[in-house]
Chain A
Amino acid sequence: MSEGRKSYSESLEEVKKDVLEMASLTEKGICSSVEALENYDEELVQHIYNVEDESNKLNLEVEKECMRLVALQQPVAKDLRFIATMMKISDNFERICDLAEKIGKIAQKKGKKDPLKPLVDTNRMIDIICEMLEIVKEAIEQEDTSDLRGLSDLDDKVDDLFSQIYNELIVFMVKDPKDVDEATDLVFVARYLERSADLVAKIASRLVYMVEGERVQIK
């Protein structure tokens, strides 16, 4: 399908909308995952799986549309950086949804049983990740990088919480080998969350490149 320059701009806006939708799905998926772990609910777990499925489809749509724009419009400068960034960050959002799905599977395995320990730090991790996601959503929407540098601090906090949870759960395993299986699952959950925060930080780095043209690493 051919399009003029006006609808080209509209297509770029559509891509942005889709990627913002990806960001919202990601937020839903990752937040629901820990909630399902704490208060098991089969419907909630199904919701996480649906979100993951939807994110796969949307990610593919974003890729298709970006490839179409590259092929037909030969974007350069800011448009080129925008398209390359949208493809890349859409992939990152989708990977976070994959991690949410993995947490959902752990929740399903645990079922209605109480968790081995109260998930206080895990919830802290989720709160920070949601805060990070809000910041990147705003940055995508406004194409404004001013708050993105702050994500580095938030990512550090998530890393610290992961270490804390890991050490705590090792103590559980040492104390009672019967808990090894469940404690390992909770270490995995913390690891997935830590990885999610890394991916959000990567998204932030790409957004700085998109807006300012400079390649930076926020981690």
Chain B
Amino acid sequence: MEFETNSKDKERKKLEEIDPVVEAKNISVWYGEEKALENIGLKVPKNNVTAIIGPSGCGKSTFLRCINRMNDLIEGAKVEGKIVYKDKNLYDPDIDVASLRRKIGMVFQKPNPFPKSVYENIAYGPKIGGMNDKEELDEIVEESLKDAALWDEVKNRLHSPAMDLSGGQQQRLCIARALAVEPDVLLMDEPASALDPIAMSKIEDLIYDLKQDYTVIIVTHNMQQAARVSDYTAFLFMGKLIEHSPTEKLFENPDKKKTEDYITGRFG
């Protein structure tokens, strides 16, 4: 009798083997009395895309906002635990939150360009950071727009209002704007959900390309999108991390029944 199990060595690195760029340790969040996240521990691997999925209200966006301390801006929000980035807890009192948000940038569901020109949208961050050299700014604008796969579409109208761009272009402009300040990590909260399928597919291609140089964490309602763009997927449910696995594993053979029920649409 022969009964062989094939090895799975060729699969993506196991999470316990990775060196994370960002690591959440026992993160809990309260909005007033209500606990939104409970003891989340999650390692985010460098130069990979990590997707966070889960039903509405499960704490996905709350978790994303913990990573660059956007929850600080929400009244009544309280965060416990650590977010470790470059050996520092981002919740230490000596952290400069403004420069943290440059290193860990964010893109939101709805494109939110400034009511300025395409050029000014990108140059804004570097200028705030003290850069005034026109040539250098031109270079940053061009590079950022190229990285966001928008350059060819806007190079002849850099000084036109950003608001004149299509929704998909505006979203890529917001991504370019985040890239202009040379972040390590990009947080994306439903970045393609307000876009049509063509614009969505461009954003997805872009996310795939961006991981060469950046680490991306994306929150999405769209499970197929998570499956398409991410290397690792975390499933949150009612404020708890249920499962965090390589994406192929999670969508082909999840460990937890709750994950299986959610992704197959058999919840409740």
Residue ranges of A at the interface with B (Cβ–Cβ < 8 Å):
5, 8-9, 74-81, 149, 152-153, 156, 213-219
Contact = CB atoms under 8 A, between A and B. Distances in A.
Interface stretch (B167-175, B213-221, B260-268): B260-268
8 contacts: A74-B223, A76-B264, A77-B253, A77-B254, A215-B6, A216-B6, A217-B3, A218-B3
Contacts of A74: 223-224
Given A5-B265, A213-B252, A78 B260 contact: yes
B253 A156 contact: no
B260 to A, nearest CB: 5
Closest 9 CB pairs of A and B: A213-B253, A152-B1, A76-B251, A217-B4, A76-B263, A77-B260, A215-B6, A5-B265, A153-B1
B2 interface: yes
Contacts of B79: none
A81 B5 CA distance: 17
A56 B263 CA distance: 33
Interface residues of B, number: 19
A204 B125 CA distance: 60
A158 to B, nearest CB: 13
B3 A216 contact: yes
Contacts of A156: 1
B227 interface: yes
Contacts of A5: 265-266
Interface in B212-268: 223-224, 227, 251-254, 259-260, 263-266
Specify which of A5, A75, A78, A218 lies most central, judged by the most chain B CB atoms within 10 Å of its CB.
Answer: A78
B2 A217 contact: yes
B260 A152 contact: no
A218 B6 CA distance: 11
Contact of A77 (B4, B5, B252): B252
A153 B266 CA distance: 38
B32 to A, nearest CB: 35
B62 to A, nearest CB: 25
A81 B252 CA distance: 7
Nearest to A150: B1
B256 to A, nearest CB: 10
A159 B143 CA distance: 65
B223 to A, nearest CB: 7
A27 to B, nearest CB: 24
Nearest to B267: A5
Nearest to A216: B5
Contacts of B264: 75-79
B141 to A, nearest CB: 39
Nearest to A75: B264
A77 B3 contact: no
Contacts of A81: 252-253
A76 B227 contact: yes
Contacts of B224: 74
B5 A215 contact: yes
Contacts of B253: 77, 81, 213-214
A213 B264 CA distance: 15
Contacts of B2: 152, 217-219
Given A80-B252, A217-B4, 16 more contacts: A8-B265, A75-B264, A76-B223, A76-B251, A76-B264, A77-B252, A77-B253, A77-B254, A77-B263, A77-B264, A78-B264, A80-B251, A156-B1, A215-B5, A215-B6, A218-B3
A208 to B, nearest CB: 9
A197 B178 CA distance: 60
A214 B263 CA distance: 19
A75 B266 CA distance: 12
A77 B235 CA distance: 14
